[in-house]
Chain A
Amino acid sequence: MRTALVDRPIDVASLIAEVSDDSCGAVSVFLGCVRDVNDGRPVTGIEYSSYRAMAEREMTTIVSEAANRFDVTRVVVEHRLGTLGLRDVSVAVVAAHPHRAPALDATRYIIEELKKRVPIWKLEHYTDGSRDWVGAGSLDSVTSR
């Protein structure tokens, strides 16, 4: 099991190779990508930041929970930080297991918990030049940075 916050592009093929072995009949991959619209506003990119030490700790905890729940230990999770463009992969969860159900269940659990608990934030950039923190409400509009 490995988790990491990274400041470079995520190499999905290397993550798959990292968790796969001859026993694994199933490899489940989830990728989160930057999309072009959020809440009806056209997006050009997203700046990801984190409380790094705590984010690393929470990611490790979540993967351990998944291992206990689903008996899936061949797991790697990488979340990218910094400024990403459209289609860039922001997060990858890859889980391998002899059978598909545990691999799929572990992948789903990890991404859902990551989105609830890991202290990472998105500053979205829009086509009109404005920026907003995702999920923070109207008081957090950033127009003059």
Chain B
Amino acid sequence: MTVTVLLFASYADALGTSAIELDVPSGSTVNDVLGALSTMPGGDRLPPRPLVAVNEVYASSATVLDGDDEVAIIPPVAGG
């Protein structure tokens, strides 16, 4: 299945892109996606356990993903 990974701010700079279409096995979790990202160029600059949102809601690393899910890797927020 394919999930869309969104990267923002410092994390987008680290991987040189703001969106990645990622093929992962069925039943993959957020943690599996983080593992795949860590092997990409620049992926070693992401922290091991960043904040993640799935379909615009904060999620845990154990969250199981469906095809077409939008997985956002959220850098430390700094609004205001």
Mark A residues whose CB is within 8 Å of B.
32, 48-51, 53-55, 57, 79, 90-91, 111, 114-123, 133-136, 139-140, 142
Cβ-defined contact, B10 with A136, below 8 A: yes
Cβ-defined contact, B72 with A121, below 8 A: no
The residues of A that contact B74 with a CB separation of less than 8 Å are 51, 119
Cβ-defined contact, B80 with A54, below 8 A: no
Q: Is B41 interfacial (CB 8 A cutoff)? A: no
Q: Beyond A91-B80, A121-B9: 18 further Cβ-contacts under 8 Å?
A: A49-B8, A50-B79, A51-B8, A54-B72, A55-B79, A117-B58, A118-B79, A119-B53, A121-B75, A121-B78, A133-B10, A133-B13, A133-B75, A136-B10, A136-B75, A140-B13, A140-B75, A142-B13
Total count of chain B residues near the partner, CB < 8 A: 19
Cβ-defined contact, A135 with B80, below 8 A: no
**How long is the Cα–Cα vector from A117 to B76 in the complex, in angstroms?**
9
**How long is the Cα–Cα vector from A118 to B75 in the complex, in angstroms?**
11
**How long is the Cα–Cα vector from A120 to B80 in the complex, in angstroms?**
8
B13, closest chain A residue (CB): A142
B72, closest chain A residue (CB): A51
Instruction: Out of B14, B57, B80, name the residue touching A114 (CB < 8 Å).
Output: B80
Cβ-defined contact, A54 with B76, below 8 A: no
For residue A26, give the distance in angstroms from its CB to the closest CB of chain B: 22
Instruction: Out of A49, A50, A54, A139, name the residue touching B53 (CB < 8 Å).
Output: A54
**How long is the Cα–Cα vector from A136 to B57 in the complex, in angstroms?**
21
Instruction: Give me 6 A-to-B residue pairs in the complex whose CB atoms sit less than 8 angstroms apart, sorted by A's number.
Output: A32-B80, A116-B77, A121-B79, A133-B9, A139-B14, A142-B10
B6, closest chain A residue (CB): A51
Cβ-defined contact, B80 with A139, below 8 A: no
The residues of A that contact B57 with a CB separation of less than 8 Å are 54, 57
Cβ-defined contact, A139 with B10, below 8 A: yes
For residue B63, give the distance in angstroms from its CB to the closest CB of chain A: 15
**How long is the Cα–Cα vector from A48 to B80 in the complex, in angstroms?**
9
The residues of A that contact B10 with a CB separation of less than 8 Å are 121, 133, 136, 139-140, 142
**How long is the Cα–Cα vector from A57 to B58 in the complex, in angstroms?**
11
